[in-house]
Amino acid sequence: MKTSNRAPGLSPINNLRLASEYPGLSAASLRTPCGDLLIAADDQGVRFVRFGSNSPLAACVHANPSATTEAHLQAALQQLRQYFQGERQAFDLPIAIDHGTTFQRSTWQALRMIGYGQHWTYGEVATYIGRPQATRAIGTACGANPVPILIPCHRVLPAHGGIGGFAGGTRWKQALLELERFNGT
């Protein structure tokens, strides 16, 4: 398991908050054809996926994870490897999300309905959760998704064309969409 101590995104204060909120948090990095990922989990399940190996999460991790945490990390690593090799289209992992607004949680739940190789527009997601006027808020909720790829926010596209934004950057989003298009059934 490789960890790192710094990255953009969270201040030291937020690192302390994360460390106190998730005292059993541990992380592992995964090199993929699209770039590095950092996956963080605790005994409850996978809590975060971050793009790049220099995530502030790495500064908050517990050095000696419990057997349960280690099992969650190893399962996540295996399933993500399979996904990037075109051998897995859905994830069967415990995802532990205990934050986010009701709107964000509804959005994240809806995103799980978007199948591999498919896409919805921001408006379609908004309509699905019963908030058809909230297309911009859907984009914000996608950006706040703590476990991108596992909850596939990359499958949400603008109605007017293009690929839209993505927490990991548009290069990542394009690569994920191409991976699924190439390996789709």
Supply the residues annotated as catalytic.
153
Adjacent-strand bridge partners of 157: 121
Cα–Cα distance between 150 and 158 in angstroms, integer? 20
Position 93 in a domain: no
Do 70 and 126 fall into the same domain?
Answer: no
Last residue of one domain, picked from the residues 56, 84, 112: 84
Count the neighbouring beta carbons within 10 Å of the beta carbon of residue 13. Answer: 8
Do 134 and 162 fall into the same domain?
Answer: yes
Highest mean pLDDT among 12-26, 35-49, 61-75: 35-49
Do 112 and 74 fall into the same domain?
Answer: no
Whole-structure pTM value: 0.86
pLDDT one-digit tens code per residue, 58-113: 666 666 788 999 999 999 999 999 999 999 999 999 999 988 999 999 999 999 99
pLDDT of residue 10: 38
Last residue of one domain, picked from the residues 84, 113, 143: 84
Per the structure, the complete domain to which residue 144 belongs is given by 102-183
Residue among 66, 11, 78 at smallest CA distance from 39: 78
pLDDT one-digit tens code per residue, 106-145: 999 999 999 999 999 999 999 999 999 999 999 999 999 9
Position 1 in a domain: no
